[in-house]
Structure 1
Amino acid sequence: MSFSLYEAIVPTMIQILQAGQGWIASAKSCGIAEEELAQTRLIEDMLPFSYQARSMITHSVGAIEGARKGSFSPDLEEAPTDLETMRLALGAAENTMRALSKGEVDSFIDGEMHFTFPAREIDIPFATEDFLLSFSQPNFFFHATTAYGILRMKGVKLGKTAFMGQLRTTLS
């Protein structure tokens, strides 16, 4: 059985983007101030929850946009700190990923692109599929796991099934 690039990336990103909306809905009702949650870090040298949540979008929708244009750079804009704005942004990212066609994503195979970070004079060339699978997908899961971990650390009632979201079973 072979998998396409689309199947290797898109359905699981949709699953976790949807789950992330649930984490934020739980966070909204936990009684902790939104600004406190938004600014919480696992450790001082890591970026806060607001950045982690936004980076899920950067490394899903942003990665696809980068694949389309052949270049990807980090999103350095200030992340929203309002939980509802974050939840809605994750929902919009989920919808964008759902709208992708298998044909378009698979057409990225054998393309060329660059990860650029002009402020640090970084320009790394990639085959597009390698960028998506070895750079953006691991980053997506890193930021999702970190966002989830921050909420758990702050006492938001979430379990492993909340992280995983809706599984794609043969029962569904």
Structure 2
Amino acid sequence: MNLHTLAIPTFTQMLRALSAQLDKGAELARAKGFEPSVLPQSRLAPDMFPLAAQVKFTCFQASDAVARLTGQAPRVMPGDETTVEGLKAVIAETIADLEATPEAAFAGAEDRMIELKMANGLIFDMNGLQFLRDWSLAQFYFHLVTAYDILRHNGVPLGKPDYVPHALPYLRPGTAPGA
């Protein structure tokens, strides 16, 4: 398996789920009579980033991973979008960029050396496989799940099917435990 096969479908299917979760959040806001613009500023704890930042970090982790794995310059964080519509636009743009990346661009990505400079001066040195497996996917899912949790915390009726809708085609009826 090459890294394109792992990265692109993983990132895009989860970003599509996140976009649908934001739709459910906006629907709830309208049904409850409050402005959907409240949701992007919501957070789980005072010292955590709000939903808007979690969505942007999720998109950044996906696009930055693909850029670095394909030998492009590291990406910059998306702008200062603070509305559900703006965040959905960032997600859509990220998905389009990811899907436009040809499989051939990932040639040699597993062994490509990645230097990840942190704001505090620390530097991670990893090959492409290590970078995707040990850094990018972990960071991507951290921010993705935090966005989901913020929406749930605000009463958005989300469940496992909203988180992994791409897995539902694999579902088949079975025998219930204890039956």
Class of the TM-score when normalised by the shorter of the 2 chains = 0.7 to 0.9
C-alpha distance in 1 between matches for 2:80 and 2:145: 17
Q: Which has the larger radius of gyration?
A: 2
Task: Give TM-score, length-normalised by structure 2.
Answer: 0.82
User: Would the aligned equivalents of 2:111 and 2:129 in 1 still touch at CA under 8 Å?
Assistant: yes
Task: Look up the equivalent residue of 1:157 and give its one-letter code.
Answer: P
Give the alignment of 1:42-53 within 5 angstroms.
42-53=44-55
1:41 is paired with a residue whose SS is coil
C-alpha distance in 2 between matches for 1:86 and 1:148: 14
Q: CA deviation at 1:16?
A: 0.5
Q: CA deviation at 1:18?
A: 0.7
Task: Look up the equivalent residue of 1:158 and give its one-letter code.
Answer: L
User: Would the aligned equivalents of 2:58 and 2:140 in 1 still touch at CA under 8 Å?
Assistant: yes
Q: CA deviation at 1:87?
A: 0.6
**Which of 55, 60, 63 is equivalent to 2:62?**
60
1:25 is paired with a residue whose SS is helix
C-alpha distance in 2 between matches for 1:92 and 1:73: 13
Counterpart residue number, 1:8: 6
1:113 is paired with a residue whose SS is strand
Extract unaligned runs of 5+ from structure 2.
Answer: 172-179
Task: Answer with 154-163 or 77-86: which moved more.
Answer: 77-86
C-alpha distance in 1 between matches for 2:56 and 2:130: 22
2:110 is paired with a residue whose SS is coil
1:17 is paired with a residue whose SS is helix
User: Would the aligned equivalents of 2:113 and 2:126 in 1 still touch at CA under 8 Å?
Assistant: yes
Counterpart residue number, 2:135: 135
Count how many residue pairs are aligned between Structure 1 and Structure 2: 167
| 1:80 and 2:78 aligned | no
Task: Look up the equivalent residue of 1:159 and give its one-letter code.
Answer: G
Task: Look up the equivalent residue of 2:36 and give its one-letter code.
Answer: E
Task: Report the CA distance shift for 1:45/1:92 in structure 2 as closer, same or farther (over 3 A).
Answer: same
2:20 is paired with a residue whose SS is helix
Counterpart residue number, 1:156: 156
C-alpha distance in 2 between matches for 1:70 and 1:124: 18
- The RMSD of aligned alpha carbons is 2.2
Task: Look up the equivalent residue of 2:96 and give its one-letter code.
Answer: N
C-alpha distance in 1 between matches for 2:151 and 2:23: 11
Give a deviation string over 1:102-146, Cα, whole Å, max 9, x none. Answer: 2222431211111112x4112221112211111011111111111
Counterpart residue number, 1:166: 166
Greater RCO structure (CA 8 Å; 6+ sep): 1
C-alpha distance in 1 between matches for 2:39 and 2:65: 26
C-alpha distance in 1 between matches for 2:59 and 2:140: 8
C-alpha distance in 2 between matches for 1:170 and 1:29: 28
Identical residues among aligned pairs (%): 23
Task: Give TM-score, length-normalised by structure 1.
Answer: 0.85
User: Would the aligned equivalents of 2:36 and 2:84 in 1 still touch at CA under 8 Å?
Assistant: yes
